[in-house]
A and B are shown apart, each in its own frame.
Chain A
Amino acid sequence: MSAARTAPRDGGPASAEDALDRAWREHWARLLAALVARYRRPDLAEDALADAFAAAARTWPSDGVPDNPAGWLRTAAGRRVLDRLRAEAVALRKEPLMVVEERSRPGPQDPGGEPDDGAHVPDERLRLVFACCHPALAPEARAALTLRFVAGLGVPDIARLFLVPEATMAARVTRAKKRLAASGIPFSVPPPGRLDERLDVVATVLYLVFTAGYAPGTGPDLVRVGLAGEAIRLVRLLDELLPGRPVVRALLALLVLQHARRDARATADGTLVLLAEQDRTLWHADEITVGLAVLASVPDDADGLARDYLLQARVAAEHATAPTAALTDWRAVAGHYAELEERSGSPVVRLARAVAVAEADGPQEGLALLDGLDAALPHHHRLPAVRAELLSRAGRDDEALAAFELAIERCANAAERAHLEGRRRALRGDGAPGGT
């Protein structure tokens, strides 16, 4: 980016937008973690960073993209935090009864030190994760905070992920943010004796972050590779910090194996490609090798959450090592899902199991497993989508069409809906066969 120094306007507004987009993806979490670590005020830090990005959006298109976008944003955000701290201090001093002598405690000035974009503190974000996942926060607040603070996700996306209205999630995030700032929750990795008990919740939350990146539900992008990759990076950090923990190893194997398929999951124009139809040469073979090696290191007798992840990782491994969809060991996949369903009683797992059983034993057996799921998954578009697919294979076209209609109506993701619409067209026979 040396051109930026000699020609500030080089590239114009379009490149400023790109730079801002890249800065958000690459630096949001790191900058926020650095601000929180420095000022211990997560509420102010988040507002200040959002303000800094807004200022960048205003000024970069006309003034040019700075040489060091992360440094620019850090400086701008830090200045805003200090402004707010000074304003708060002044407000308190105006209260006559509150006047107290200056204490040795650091006041609202910059604690100093070298400019810090967080790069040299590899686990800063991990500290933020542990703070966001603190047991003193309500369980539903932990994941929401992590997604907002560590992943930089917007409230609408978080709301969709948790299947709650946007206003509910906005209130929840605001409340949690205040609580995080005021309740004395430390911004540190817990001491060794306390680390394991906090691990399950951290693992759960990081899996959610990955899920958010993998299938965000709204918007045009099917895969937010950056967010999913960030989740994997955080799990790797956790694995380095706490070597050999089954729950971390199993989760890492699961995420790496799933993520290895990312480039085959959608076409260039964003159309969803089902697993069976994916070009397997696009799968990252090197990452699959890594994922399988991590999976092999998970003990066979792993229990609790580690077992859930282990079973899911074994499913991912079956797919990753099958030369074609038809040659997949569907019986093994169905077996893993059966154990998972027994452990969790989850209707979503049953849905996945039905697909595997249909592949192994035929569509009728799969359809039978869908019975009774409608009450448990009333708004889920995948249930009618799977049912439509199996009905179509069983030759029950009219019922299949009706199920596709319902799935399309419920589906909020543009890429997935386009796929469903293609399947419906193919079934009606009024267009090129979709999804093949």
Chain B
Amino acid sequence: MRFMLLLHEDEQVWARASDAERAEYARRHEAFAATVRERGAIVAGEALSTVAAATTVRHDGDAVLVTEGPFAETVEQLGGFYVVDLPDLDAVVEAVALLPRYAVEVRPVVDADAP
């Protein structure tokens, strides 16, 4: 079963992190990846640039509106994502527990060909 993991964190936390703290982030992502691979696979995963670089595109009737900034202004921003293939939610939670202290939204991916 595939899950998308949406990783949220206040961007300032990363911006202010020391080198040692950043190394700890990397170590935690590696631990997460190793645990996922024991029982499944990482299908995709990326870190995103900050919301300062975000553009939001909306439809307004026939017009297309392009605005600067993220879809929603929040304290914690979407900073990255993974798509993992794991047996169930418990396996996902176990792996996510190893990541840095993000708020992680776990969303099952809709399987077009699954029963």
Contact = CB atoms under 8 A, between A and B. Distances in A.
Contacts of B47: none
A242 interface: no
Given A184-B1, A184-B108, A107 B88 contact: no
Interface stretch (A3-11, A85-93, A117-125, A199-207): A85-93
Contacts, number: 44
A134 B92 CA distance: 14
Nearest to A101: B113
A105 B113 contact: yes
B35 to A, nearest CB: 14
Interface string A181-199: 0111110101000100000
A421 to B, nearest CB: 51
Interface string A390-409: 00000000000000000000
> What size tier do the contact residues of chain B reach?
10 to 19
Contacts of B106: 184
A184 B88 contact: yes
A92 B113 contact: yes
Given A184-B3, A186-B87, A85 B115 contact: yes
Given A182-B108, A184-B3, A107 B115 contact: yes
Contacts of A136: 89
Most B CB within 10 A of own CB, among A102, A186, A194: A186
A14 interface: no
A100 B90 CA distance: 28
Contacts of A134: 89
Contacts of A429: none
B4 to A, nearest CB: 11
A108 interface: yes
B114 interface: yes
B73 to A, nearest CB: 28
A190 B108 CA distance: 20
Nearest to B92: A184
A183 B111 CA distance: 12
A145 B90 CA distance: 19
B43 to A, nearest CB: 14
Contact of B112 (A98, A106, A107, A185): A98
A88 B115 contact: yes
Contact of B113 (A41, A100, A182, A194): A100
Interface string B77-115: 000000000011111100000000000001010011111
Contact of B90 (A92, A98, A102, A194): A194
A342 B67 CA distance: 58
A194 B113 CA distance: 32
A225 to B, nearest CB: 35
A100 B115 contact: no
A102 B111 CA distance: 12
B37 to A, nearest CB: 18
Contacts of B89: 134, 136, 183-186
A100 B92 contact: no
Contacts of A190: 90
Contacts of B112: 92, 95, 98, 100
Contacts of B87: 186
Nearest to B88: A186
Contacts of A185: 88-90
A100 B112 CA distance: 8
A102 B113 contact: yes
Contacts of B113: 89, 92, 100, 102-103, 105, 107
Contacts of A183: 89, 108
Nearest to A92: B112
Interface in B47-97: 87-92
11 contacts: A100-B113, A108-B115, A184-B1, A184-B88, A184-B89, A184-B92, A184-B106, A184-B108, A185-B90, A188-B88, A190-B90
8 tightest CB-CB pairs across the interface, nearest first?
A186-B88, A184-B89, A108-B115, A98-B112, A85-B115, A100-B113, A184-B108, A186-B90
Interface of A: 39, 41, 85, 88-89, 92, 95, 98, 100, 102-103, 105-108, 134, 136, 182-186, 188, 190, 194
